[in-house]
C-alpha cells in the first residue's frame, strides 16, 4: 500500500524565501544524492535512530513484494549520523517525488561533524512515521534480511540499498548496529537470497 505525500510536502512553507536549505540524509541520500547541491558535509541529528521499518513499493520493491528501506524512529538520547546537503529550494520538488511513498518533511537541528566550533543549522529531513500506509514496523532481524534479500524494484535490488548504506556508514566512521546486523545476515551465504 502506498500514500503519495508529494502535495503535503510541497505545502510546507517554513523555508519560503530562503536561497538555500540544509537537508539531512540518513539512507540512500548518504551514498546516492542524485540531485544538485551547493555543499555536502557529514552531520548528525539528536533523538533518532535509523531502522529498516519502511516499506518500499516504488523504488526497492513492488506493491506485491515491497522492499524495506530506512526511516527514523524517535529514541531519546540517540544520535543518527548521515550526510547534510545545502540545496536550493528548487531541489525540493524532485526530492518530494523521490520520497513520496510515506515520507514527510520534518524540520530538524543539524550538527556538523568534525567542526571545532560545534556548528549547527536548521534543516529538513524526510521521515516515514508509523502512521503512513507503507510503514512495516519492527520484525526479527532474519525476517527483515529475508525481505530485503528477495525484493527488487525500479531502483534496483533492495539488497544493494542496504549494502551501499553499510559501506557509506563505514566510510563516515559510523557504527550502526541495526544496519550492520542486517548486512551480516544478508552476506554470509547466498541461501538467504533465494
pLDDT given at position 6: 76
Give me the active site residues, please: 99
**Per-residue pLDDT tens digits of the chain, which is 194 residues long:** 457 887 877 777 777 788 999 999 999 999 999 999 999 999 999 999 999 999 999 899 999 999 999 999 999 999 999 999 999 999 998 998 888 888 999 999 999 997 666 799 999 999 999 989 999 999 999 999 999 999 999 999 999 999 999 999 999 999 999 999 999 999 875 444 43
Buried b (16+ CB within 10 A) or exposed e, 154-191: ebebbbebbbbbbebbeebebebebbeebbebbbeeee
User: Alpha-carbon distance 75 to 64, whole Å?
Assistant: 31
pLDDT given at position 33: 92
pLDDT given at position 1: 46
The candidate with the shortest Cα–Cα distance to 8, out of 91, 122, 128, 108, is 128
The candidate with the shortest Cα–Cα distance to 25, out of 88, 99, 75, is 99
By three-state DSSP, how is residue 118 classified? coil
Domains, the chain, in order of start with CATH, read: 20-186 (3.10.490.10)
Amino acid at each position: 500500500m502506498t500514500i503519495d505525500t508529494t502535495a503535503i510536502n510541497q505545502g510546507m512553507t517554513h523555508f519560503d524565501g530562503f536561497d538555500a536549505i540544509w537537508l539531512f540524509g540518513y539512507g540512500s541520500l548518504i551514498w546516492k544524492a542524485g540531485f544538485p547541491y551547493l555543499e555536502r558535509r557529514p552531520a548528525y541529528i539528536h533523538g533518532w535512530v535509523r531502522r529498516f521499518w519502511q516499506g518500499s513499493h516504488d523504488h526497492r520493491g513492488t506493491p506485491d513484494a515491497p522492499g524495506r528501506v530506512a526511516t527514523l524512529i524517535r529514541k531519546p538520547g540517540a544520535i543518527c549520523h548521515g550526510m547534510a546537503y545545502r540545496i536550493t529550494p528548487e531541489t525540493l520538488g524532485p526530492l518530494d517525488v523521490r520520497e513520496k511513498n510515506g515520507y514527510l518533511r520534518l524540520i530538524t537541528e543539524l550538527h556538523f561533524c568534525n567542526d571545532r566550533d560545534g556548528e549547527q543549522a536548521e534543516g529538513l529531513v524526510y521521515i516515514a512515521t508509523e502512521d503512513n500506509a507503507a510503514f512495516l514496523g519492527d520484525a526479527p532481524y532474519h525476517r527483515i534480511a529475508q525481505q530485503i534479500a528477495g525484493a527488487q524494484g525500479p531502483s534496483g535490488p533492495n539488497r544493494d540499498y542496504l549494502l551501499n548504506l553499510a559501506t557509506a556508514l563505514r566510510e563516515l566512521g559510523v557504527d550502526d548496529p541495526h544496519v550492520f546486523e542486517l548486512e551480516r545476515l544478508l552476506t554470509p551465504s547466498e541461501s538467504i537470497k533465494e
